[in-house]
Amino acid sequence: NAGVTQTPKFQVLKTGQSMTLQCAQDMNHNSMYWYRQDPGMGLRLIYYSASEGTTDKGEVPNGYNVSRLNKREFSLRLESAAPSQTSVYFCASSESSAVQYFGPGTRLTVT
Amino acid sequence: GDSVTQMEGPVTLSEEAFLTINCTYTATGYPSLFWYVQYPGEGLQLLLKATKADDKGSNKGFEATYRKETTSFHLEKGSVQVSDSAVYFCALTDTGGFKTIFGAGTRLFVKA
Task: Answer whether residue B110 shows pLDDT above 70.
Answer: yes
pLDDT tier, A73 (very low <50, low <70, confident <90, very high otherwise): very high
Chain B residue nearest residue A37, CA to CA: B104
Task: Answer whether residue B2 shows pLDDT above 90.
Answer: no
More confident position, A22 or A2: A22
Mean pLDDT for A35-58 is 91
Mean pLDDT for B87-112 is 89
From residue A98, give the alpha-carbon distance in Å to each of A88, B13, B60, B83, B112: 22, 32, 21, 27, 36
Q: Which of B39, B100, B101 to mutate to test the interface with A (most CBs of A within 10 A)?
A: B100
Residues of B within 8 A of A58 (CB-CB) are 99
Mean pLDDT for A38-50 is 89
Task: Answer whether residue B96 shows pLDDT above 80.
Answer: no
Query: For B24-50, how does the pLDDT look when each residue is reduced to its tens digit (9 = 90+)?
Result: 999 988 899 999 999 988 999 999 999
A40 exposed, middle or buried (CB, 10 Å; 0-12, 13-18, 19+)? exposed
d(CA A73, CA B66): 34
Task: Answer whether residue A97 shows pLDDT above 90.
Answer: no
3-state DSSP assignment of residue A83: helix
The enclosing H or E element of B102 equals strand B100-102
Contacts of B91 (CB under 8 A, 6+ apart): B4, B33, B34, B35, B36, B100, B101, B102, B103
Contact B102 A4 (CB under 8 A): no
Nearest CB among B45, B98, B103 relative to A48 is that of B98
Query: For B74-92, how does the pLDDT look when each residue is reduced to its tens digit (9 = 90+)?
Result: 999 999 999 999 999 999 9
pLDDT tier, A93 (very low <50, low <70, confident <90, very high otherwise): very high
Residues of A within 8 A of B55 (CB-CB) are none
Share of chain B above pLDDT 90, in %: 83
Q: What is the mean pLDDT of chain A?
A: 94
From residue B101, give the alpha-carbon distance in Å to each of A3, A22, B9, B29: 22, 23, 19, 14
Q: Is B104 on the interface with A (CB under 8 A)?
A: yes
